[in-house]
């Protein structure tokens, strides 16, 4: 959806998406994230540990 269509709905939301479009994120540095958040889990681990069932 073009940012201009979002702007017609909500200016702040449009500014947020424009910001994201101007600064594309690269791939996450999982090792660095784990240093700051040692309990970080991938989806499979989270599903097993929480016992989540569909």
| pLDDT score recorded for residue 54 | 85
Is pTM beyond 0.85? Reply is: no
Averaged pLDDT, groups of 10, the chain, 54 residues long: 93 95 88 96 96 91
The predicted pLDDT at position 25 comes to: 82
Report the candidate in 5, 6, 27 with the shortest Cα–Cα distance to residue 16. 6
Q: Which positions ≥6 away from 13 have C-beta within 8 Å?
A: 6
Residue 42: left (phi > 0), alpha (psi -120 to 50), or beta?
Answer: beta
């Amino acid at each position: 959806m073009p940012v201009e269509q979002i702007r017609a709905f909500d200016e702040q939301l449009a500014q947020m998406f424009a910001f994201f479009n101007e600064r594309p994120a690269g791939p996450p540095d999982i090792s660095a994230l784990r240093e700051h958040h040692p309990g970080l889990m991938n989806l499979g681990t989270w599903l097993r540990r929480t016992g989540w069932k569909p």
